[in-house]
Chain A
Amino acid sequence: MTQHTLPAAPVAPRSRRRPLVPAGPGQFLVWAAVAVLTIAPLTPLVITSLRSKPYYLPGGVFTASAYSQLLGDPAFRQAALNTVIFALSATVLAVVLGAAFAVLVTRTDLPGRRLLGPALLAPLLIPPLGLIVGWESLYGPAGYLTQLWSKNLHLPAWNLTSLPGMSVLGAVVTLPIAYLTCKAVLEGGDGTLEDAVRASGGGTRRILRTVTLPQLRTALLDSGILIFTLCLEVLGIPLFLGNPANINFIASYLYNTWNNSTVPDPPVVSAGAILLLAAASVLLLVRARLLRHSARYTAGTRATAPTQPIRLGRWRVPAAFGMAGFVAVTCVIPLLGLGLMSSVTDLTTLVAPWHLWTAANWHEVWSDPTLHRSITDSLLIATIGSVATVALVALATVVAHRSGFPLRRTLPALLVYPRATPGIVFGVGFFWLYLVVDWPGAMLRNSLWGELFALCVRNMTLAYIVLAPALARISPELAKAASASGAGWWTTTRRVTLPLLRPALISAVVLMFVTLVSDYDPVVFLAKPGTELLGTTMLQTWSKGLPGPVAALALIQVLLVALALALGLGWTLRKKARRHA
């Protein structure tokens, strides 16, 4: 080798290299945006719940009367009792089934488990209102299959519009949470523990009892509390299925009180929202406390699958059919039912459906300006909202986990709690916020943008839970290497961190789009004539007794979601193919 010399490279003066927004203030702006968006809607909620009259009426005083009025109302107490019964039974059912399915898919020789596993996740992706309408049209008291079963076959029928019936639907919707949690534990666990039982002479039953189930204990508790919390705030199920039978839950009680109250915007609803929020917060705090030491109960060894799956023997085929049947009955058939209902004048067992064939529902969706607008508005909100939310949350995630910003540790909590807050609470909160803060509230109150904010803020958490683990997998040394090369925080974020996050950013945009198309409970109090979205329009059209157009709208929601997922999946696959080329 010859003698090398390496003089310094010619560089531009430092003054020309300064970023437009310096790192510190820029990070503060990101933090402030997140903090204001998440905290602002809750502040007026607390205030209005403590007023004697609606905020805008003169002469109100601070009082706890709204709370005592609410707790003194027998209807509310009945609704609370119903909610707890519903939540408990749905949770037990979801956790038991979810855990069983997880064990079957990850640990046994179940035929077709590679297809059945992902199929179990369908309720996460199918818009909840579509699923509810599909269930109602087939399994409801006047539903097609119920009629077929009881009138034509003269068998005892079930009652979907009862607490047990709604609990079954609640369990179906939340089951994927239990399934995913248990599956993650089983896949991350040490499979040789199960081989060890076999080596010691234990059979299948002993493996399940001594190793598999004890391993799942934490996951069962974790998903159980989460599902119970989600069940407390369920709005669609009681509105669609409970209202006809006069069964109210807390969320539907608040919704109905709001709509039917003689005084507009009663403080009682704010108080109820606060109580719901308090209950959810307490449950999630309990969960965090219980799971604080969960690392103690996991094996420190590397994740390995057992060398041999548990043999189901003669139960193999029945179990596979049972699981496939479950997916078919809970998801596939209801979606087909939606399609059927959207294309007939009336869904009845008395006349064969092909005699009632009609395009009227679809025509109405196209010609009725309200229905038509709800589709375009939802699309607009989902498109703009998903990109804008992911942009903000991506920056906030990088500030939270890859910066020296002093308040960075508050960001994860700020980003996680909106989704833990019941959607209806956010709805009331934003309604008051736009009313209390005159500018830009007045402008937002009467436009689509107000709903956009409510939906996006409520679902920011979803973008965060996709982006944060992805960022954690990127070595911090990659960003440090950029600083060592002379790049400031903004340059490092723009040129290194965000490009490395690209796959997660795409997933987050798809997930946000899917959610914004389907979500409705944060906007039920915000929708006004002229600013309807798919979900709120479906609720209103349903209450007018027009199931056909609702089914058509639900199907459009399903198609939009499917389209977004297909695009996202296609992008991932193309990327993968290119990498392997």
Chain B
Amino acid sequence: MPEISVKLLSKSFGPTRVLDRISFTVPDKQLVTLLGPSGCGKTTTLMAIAGFNNPDGGTISHGERVLFDSGQRRDLPAEQRDLGVVFQSYALWPHLTVGENVAFPLKIRRTGRAEIKRRVGEVLDLVELGHRVDAHPQELSGGQQQRVALARALAHGPTALLLDEPFSNLDAKLRDRAREWLGRLQRELGMTTVFVTHDQTEALAMSDQILVMNGGRIVRAGSPEEVYRRPGSRFAAQFLGRCNFLTGSTRQIAGGEYLLEALDLPGTVRFHAPTAPPPGLATLAVRPESLLLTEPDAGDAAGWPAQILRTSFLGDHYLHTVRVGAQVLEAQTTRPVATSTVHVSIAEDAASLVTDDHEEFDNVL
């Protein structure tokens, strides 16, 4: 299964730039997720790879084949790209049975009748729907429809799979199971896959790599852990979950080690950074679970004294809103905190430097 490589892809609708010269590579056998809010260009990117909208510039290649190249005016029609696409609505043809839906890509390719029958059985077994071959799509549940759509996308043996928010029409419970199931199938088939979603949990759980997109650009790329722990920008930090931001002036203490003197906090925060932060004020991102709360009578009272303003119980954890100096922070604990005054400290190496792109994020929302 060859890799997909996208270079300097741009697209504008009128004056709006939907894609701003984005480049990325989906390595062989990997699942890469395009994550971002609606309107960030993720679906446009996916549909450009599938061949449903032609970009203004850039190239898209898949292994040896050039799918799109604006320089050479090459644009392979969607029907000749031989990819497997699962649409957000599943797009199952209501006038055909499950079996006929799955057989369609094979009939188009003039595969022999017996071979079609064998193959349809094979892929439907793969998605555990071999017994529903004669059903019509509207007789199936949402989760089953989604699996038929996947079977149809896999039927002709595509060289890569493109998934456009395939779980967005499923309810929360089913979504968890479908996610796990699809992730396992993808790894077992070793299929190069591009996955589009706006749900950070899905992205974190399934991906080999996440590309966080905003305003037609890729703002952060990396493995789920990297992207979550070192989001790199305020936007990516907030999009991937709750986050505290501490702003202050910095100074170097050792090689890659720095100290932030936060404006509204009574103390300093130690952090690592590969390059020196820019002069002036810098911002650190700290996840709520990296803020440690200790009760004042616990003896070892490290950290800053803080006041708990309110606490919400969220099932598997508690979320506290605490005031430290003039700053209000969110902290997460697995156990309830008994007192209303606590000490707050930051876990080792949990603070990471982010760039300030706050305004762009507000525009997107």
Residues of chain A whose beta carbon lies under 8 Å from any beta carbon of chain B: 1, 3-12, 14, 16-17, 475, 477-478, 480-488, 491, 495-496, 499-500, 502
Contacts and interface: CB of A to CB of B under 8 A. Distances in A.
Contact of A9 (B81, B119, B185): B119
Interface in B85-99: 85, 87-89, 91-95
20 contacts: A1-B184, A6-B126, A6-B154, A9-B111, A11-B106, A475-B89, A480-B78, A480-B85, A481-B85, A483-B51, A484-B83, A485-B105, A485-B108, A485-B155, A486-B82, A486-B156, A487-B79, A487-B108, A488-B77, A499-B95
Contacts of A16: 110
Interface string B143-172: 000000100111111010000000000000
Contacts of A17: 108-110
Contacts of A478: 91, 93
B104 interface: yes
Q: Which 6 A-B pairs have the closest CB atoms?
A: A8-B157, A12-B110, A11-B109, A485-B105, A481-B91, A484-B85
A145 B51 CA distance: 69
A3 B190 CA distance: 10
B52 interface: yes
B189 A5 contact: yes
B77 A483 contact: yes
Contacts of A4: 126, 185, 188-189
Contacts of A9: 106, 109, 111, 115, 119, 155-157
Interface string B95-131: 1000000001110111110010001000100100000
Given A500-B93, A500-B95, A486 B152 contact: no
Interface centre among A1, A5, A477, A502 (most CB of B within 10 A): A477
Contacts of A480: 50, 52, 78, 85, 87, 91
B67 to A, nearest CB: 13
Nearest to A478: B91
B50 A484 contact: yes
Contact of A477 (B88, B95, B153, B185): B88
B78 A484 contact: yes
Contact of B156 (A3, A8, A14, A502): A8
A7 B156 contact: no
Contacts of A11: 106, 109-111, 156
B74 to A, nearest CB: 16
Interface in B62-84: 77-84
A492 to B, nearest CB: 8
Contacts of A482: 93, 104
Nearest to A487: B108
Given A475-B91, A484-B50, A487-B79, A12 B157 contact: no
A496 B108 CA distance: 12
A482 B155 CA distance: 13
B88 A484 contact: no
A404 to B, nearest CB: 9
B156 A477 contact: no
Given A11-B156, A486-B82, A500 B94 contact: yes
Nearest to B184: A1
A101 to B, nearest CB: 36
A446 B176 CA distance: 72
Contact of B87 (A7, A477, A487): A477
A441 B108 CA distance: 42
A9 B191 CA distance: 15
B101 to A, nearest CB: 9
Contacts of A485: 79, 104-105, 108, 152, 155-156
B85 A12 contact: no
Contacts of B94: 500
Given A8-B157, A11-B109, A495-B104, A481 B78 contact: no
Contacts of A496: 93
Contacts of A7: 157
B95 A491 contact: no
Nearest to A500: B95
A475 B94 CA distance: 11
Contacts of B153: 484
Contacts of B51: 483
Nearest to A481: B91
Given A5-B189, A500-B93, A481 B115 contact: no
B193 to A, nearest CB: 13
A192 B81 CA distance: 50
Most chain B CB neighbours (cut-off 10 Å) among A486, A487, A502: A486
Contacts of A12: 109-111
A486 B111 contact: no
A63 to B, nearest CB: 48
A486 B152 CA distance: 11
Nearest to A485: B105
A1 B128 CA distance: 11
A491 B50 CA distance: 18
B87 A483 contact: no
Greatest chain B CB density within 10 A among A6, A477, A488 is at A6
A5 B154 CA distance: 11
Interface in B275-299: none
A129 B75 CA distance: 56
